[in-house]
Structure 1
Amino acid sequence: MAYWSYILTAVGVFGLWLAGRKSKFGWAVGLGAQVLWLSYAVTTEQWGFILSAVAYGWVYSKNFLAWRRAELEVARG
């Protein structure tokens, strides 16, 4: 099960990479990774990861909304 943390980390970094390239899919990958981290936390009984996943999920959501708002403003001109 230890290798899962490496895989989940790679998924999260990939989401950040996509978001940095201004792909809306980056935010979806990042949020999806947090769901996986929650599952990992429960399965391995590493409860601290739940707080981490919630915090990261909140930041991903907040940044997506800010990014989307700015994108809409540019589109409006």
Structure 2
Amino acid sequence: MSGIFSVYVGNAPFQTTEEELGNFFSSIGQINNVRIVCDRETGRPRGFAFIEFAEEGSAQRAVEQMNGAEFNGRPLRVNLANK
């Protein structure tokens, strides 16, 4: 394995910070990185992010436990990220 276990997090509120997402997902397992994707033209968040976990099992649990979970008033879409 490559050692990178990422999940895609969609439908995130636009005002969400990487720190807030990291804190929300930290109960699942150790997080190595959180990256909110921003628009190249405007620099504004596009409403989705990638969260990298230290272990594959944590990424799988994130999908199972957090897909559909409410975060700041919106249900998140959580899937394993494509490699």
TM over 0.5: no
* TM norm structure 1: 0.34
**Bigger Rg over Cα:** 1
* Structure holding more strand per residue: 2
Greater RCO, CA 8 A, separation 6+: 2
